Amino acid sequence: MTKAMIIGGGVAGSVAAMALNKAGVEAVVYERYPHAAADIGAFLTFAVNGMDALRSIEANTPVIGLGFPTPTLKFTSGSGKTLGEIPLGGNLADGTVTQTIKRAELYGALQDEAQGRGVRVEYGKKLVGAETLSGGRVRARFDDGTSDEGDVLIGADGIHSTVRGIIDPHAPEPRYVPVLNVGGYASGIRVASEPGVFHMTFGKRAFFAYTVTASGEVWWFANPPRRTEPNAAELNAITDAQWRAELHDLFEDDNTPALQIIDATRDEIRAWATYDIPKVPTWHRDSMIVIGDAAHATSPASGQGASMAIEDAVILAKCLRDVPDTQKAFATYESLRRDRVERIVAAGARSSNSKAAGPIGRVLRDAFLPIFLKKMAKGGDKSAAFMFDHHIDWEQPVAVA
């Protein structure tokens, strides 16, 4: 193993390149965008298990300070009733807790760190095909007419992965989760909030959440329900004014600061659809494999998308380092990852669907959620602990599957 070709320069791709580089394998990243990370998306939850995985390859330093700690979730109903409060992910040995961070800043920091370690990144390279050559090598072809060859091809190209379809033409398509995502940043207002708390409100018509930074800026998102999947053109046709009017209608009867926060948001409000992929039967074929969202996309409600991608990248690099045969390395990787990530995807789907509950579902949710949250807060429920209590020891060799 001397060269790995990585399709996609996001979280999974950048970390995979650094981990492989650490394992002694040359990694080249091919990114379809013509430049480094721009303002992609809004913000995300960066869980402690993701930070721990970054630490295993000494890549956590550039991320420190980009976000701010949000170790607590506080849930309320639309009426303003407190449903419960739970810790979000615990903390690492040095006290590090879950962070909230802008997606573009995380992408940029990891891309810069990878290139600072000597990783070559080719921009403007959209993959259009790949095939296995004699001897097990693989050739990647790009839309600009160029191609390259390597020992393995790693698809870190997201939920709409091209590599996934090359590996298995019958691979499942992303599944629409019946809520949309909108969000933004509000300033110049004061809302009640304790430091480090993410306020989550199950409103009468939609879900709304916000947290406040040390400077007083309010970061927020909402999940307007949509039973029917909209296409990109339909979402792009909805104007900022129309979104503000719809959000006002959704939250006007709730006892929350949602309307005040929305009105104080200066940037244009846009929306995007929510998707996941419950199960991808085939992760690898010949010398090609998918990781991150390309293999197991979860809805944002899990708060684990970036962290799972980082875990994938580090563990795949360990498998390719420790298992000389590529097929056995891929099989070992899958044996270590599949059960864990599919459990997290399922948990994210449950959370997203609870946000789109109908009238009867809302009554049941608001009645039983306080009991469940109280149990979690006391440590009596271990169902979510597996997400965060996951440590990767870089020096420990993997056991061949």
Which residue do the tokens 């790009």 mark? 142
* Span 343-362, average pLDDT: 70
Amino acid, single-letter form, for residue 108: G
Residue 87 vs residue 267, higher pLDDT: 267
In order, the DSSP letters of 348-363 are HHHHHHHHT--HHHHH
66 Cβ contact partners less than 8 Å away, ≥ 6 residues apart:
99, 101, 102, 105, 106, 109
Model pLDDT, residue 368: 58
Higher-confidence residue of 168 and 365: namely 168
Other CB atoms within 10 A of residue 266 CB: 9
User: Cα separation of 191 and 375, whole Å?
Assistant: 29
Which DSSP letter does residue 200 get? E
Rounded to the nearest 10 degrees, what angle do helices 48-55 and 305-322 cross at?
30
Tell me if residue 297 falls in helix, strand or coil. Answer: coil
CA distance 300 to 159: 12
- What phi-psi label fits residue 154: left (phi over 0), alpha (psi between -120 and 50 degrees) or beta? beta
Q: Give the pLDDT score at 172.
A: 94
Rounded to whole angstroms, the Cα distance separating 193 from 255 reads 15
∠ CA 212-215-220, rounded to 5°: 30
Confidence grade of residue 381 (pLDDT, cut at 50, 70, 90)? very low
Domain ranges for the chain: 3-49+103-174+277-357+382-388, 175-275
pLDDT, position 380: 47
Q: Which fold has domain 175-275?
A: D-Amino Acid Oxidase; Chain A, domain 2 (3.30.9)
Q: Is the pLDDT of residue 356 over 70?
A: no
Q: To 10 degrees, the CA torsion angle through 91, 371, 220, 255?
A: -150
Contact between 271 and 180 under an 8 Å Cβ cutoff? The reply is yes
CB-CB contact of 260 with 212 (8 Å): no
Asked whether residue 130 carries a pLDDT value surpassing 60, the answer given is yes
Which pLDDT does position 133 carry in this prediction? 95
According to DSSP, residue 97 is labeled B
| % of the chain exceeding 70 in pLDDT | 90
Rounded CA separation 61/109 (Å)? 9
Q: What are phi and psi of 115, to 5 degrees?
A: -70, -30
The token pair at 280 is 């991808």
Which element (helix H / strand E) includes 318? helix 305-322
- pLDDT for position 325: 95
Predicted confidence band at 359 (pLDDT cuts at 50, 70, 90)? low
Task: For residues 354 and 368, give the distance between their C-alpha atoms in angstroms, rounded to a whole number.
Answer: 12
The one-letter amino acid code at 221 reads F
CATH class of 3-49+103-174+277-357+382-388: alpha beta
Cα 64 to Cα 116: distance, rounded to the nearest angstrom: 17
* pLDDT tops 60 at residue 34: yes
Range with the poorest average pLDDT among 40-44, 226-230, 244-248: 40-44
pLDDT at 224: 94
Q: Has residue 41 got a pLDDT over 80?
A: no
Residues counted in the chain: 401
Q: 206 burial class (0-12, 13-18, 19+ CB within 10 angstroms)?
A: buried
Percentage of the chain lying above the pLDDT 90 cut: 73
pLDDT, one tens digit per residue, over 178-233 is 899 999 999 999 998 888 999 999 999 999 999 999 999 999 999 999 999 999 99
Spacing of C-alpha 29 from chain mean position: 19
Mean pLDDT of the chain: 90
pLDDT of residue 362: 59
Confidence band (pLDDT; 50, 70, 90) for 4? very high
Rounded distance, CA 380 to CA 377, Å?
Answer: 7
User: Which pLDDT score, from 0 to 100, does residue 149 have?
Assistant: 97
* CB distance 212 to 196 below 8 Å: no
23 neighbors 321 (Cβ within 8 angstroms): yes
**Dmax of the chain from CA atoms?**
65
